[in-house]
């Protein structure tokens, strides 16, 4: 498999790496997770599928991720949201389906809010994998240890070992404070489009109860929840990838 080099879009002084493949609509827009990059298994699987289908596909790395500029620790939800909106507005044309993984699902939900506010109704579907909207307020803050609270107050961050990387996860005070300003799970969420959620019941990072809470806030007649009994947070096994491609393909069929 040959991976083409990215193009770069300057956003607020940061060079953001983007890969855009032209094709039919609705196009697919990939939004990765916290400390994930756009060459991960799920993103690449969708890119290969879109290429076979002749369908437009757009993905990028947030600042501090993958091939983009910037320090990871300088990132916030607002910053990564702003970059995602800029990439979307620069490259995407016509109807689009946002596919968000983990934190990317939070970015996707906020993008719909901001695009709708600006009169842009081009998002015609959402596919959310192991969605982690509001994870700073809902999943991180409630379980902070005294040592972590001390580090946040004194150093401005705390570090946690990662199951997915040799480098630790860094959680900054700025990320957590900014997360509160971007919460979406405080009341009903009107996406104005159908939503399909894929959630593993063996997810140790984002519990299935979080996905169920999200479903309860979405318009019930437009939401599909697929629970995967032995699925973990990655959802990157062959059977998970097959389900992802089917879900995105079905959503694309609805969005015509």
pLDDT recorded at residue 226: 97
- Segments making up each domain of the chain, as ranges: 5-133+187-252
CB 100 within 8 A of CB 129: yes
Band (pLDDT 50/70/90 cuts) for residue 155 is: very high
Q: DSSP class of residue 203?
A: -
- Is the pLDDT score of 5 beyond 80? yes
pLDDT recorded at residue 115: 98
What strand order describes the sheet that includes 7-11? Answer: 7-11, 14-21, 55-60, 24-31, 96-101, 123-129, 195-200, 223-228
- Is the pLDDT score of 163 beyond 80? no
CATH of domain 5-133+187-252: 3.40.50.1820
pLDDT recorded at residue 1: 54
């Amino acid at each position: 498999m040959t991976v083409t080099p990215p193009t770069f879009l300057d956003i607020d002084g940061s060079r953001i790496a983007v890969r855009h493949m032209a094709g039919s609509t609705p196009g697919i827009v990939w939004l990765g997770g916290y400390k994930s990059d756009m060459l991960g298994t799920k993103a690449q699987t969708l890119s290969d599928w879109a290429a076979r289908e002749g369908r437009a596909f757009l993905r990028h790395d947030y600042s501090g991720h993958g091939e983009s500029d910037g320090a990871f620790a300088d990132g916030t939800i607002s910053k990564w949201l702003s970059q995602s909106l800029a990439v979307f507005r620069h490259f995407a044309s016509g109807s689009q389906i946002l596919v968000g993984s983990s934190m990317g699902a939070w970015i996707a939900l906020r993008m719909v809010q901001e695009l709708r506010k600006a009169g842009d109704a081009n998002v015609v579907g959402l596919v959310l994998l192991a969605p982690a909207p509001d994870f700073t307020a809902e999943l991180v803050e409630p379980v902070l240890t005294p040592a972590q609270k001390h580090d946040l107050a004194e150093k401005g961050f705390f570090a946690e070992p990662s199951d997915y990387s040799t480098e630790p996860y860094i959680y900054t005070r700025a990320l957590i404070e900014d997360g509160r300003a971007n919460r979406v799970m405080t009341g009903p969420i009107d996406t104005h489009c159908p939503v399909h959620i894929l959630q593993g019941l063996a997810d140790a990072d984002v519990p299935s109860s979080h996905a169920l809470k999200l479903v309860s806030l979405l318009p019930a007649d437009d939401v599909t929840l697929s629970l995967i009994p032995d699925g973990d947070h990655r959802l990157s096994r062959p059977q998970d990838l097959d389900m992802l491609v089917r879900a995105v393909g079905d959503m694309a069929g609805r969005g015509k």
